[in-house]
Amino acid sequence: MKENMTWLLDADPAIRWQVLRDLTGAPAPDVEAERTRVAETGWGKRLLDLQVNGQWAGGACFPSSD
């Protein structure tokens, strides 16, 4: 692994899984394990925790079903 990627790998799981996938050639199981962490820790968890009933802004970003 290149030394200049170390800081990216020390980052939030939302960054780390993409670095593993796109830059390091890590095995698919390792990439998927890190991607799973996105919803459980860090920025991804904070974003998902802002949802109300699985939606943001009451579903305002989705077209009406009329």
Q: Is the pLDDT of residue 52 over 60?
A: yes
- Alpha helices per DSSP H over the chain: 6-9, 13-19, 28-38, 42-49
Rounded Cα gap, residues 21 and 9, in angstroms: 11
Q: Is the pLDDT of residue 1 over 60?
A: no
pLDDT in tens, 5-43: 899 999 999 999 999 999 998 999 999 999 999 999 999
Higher-confidence residue of 31 and 65: namely: 31
pLDDT value for 21 = 94
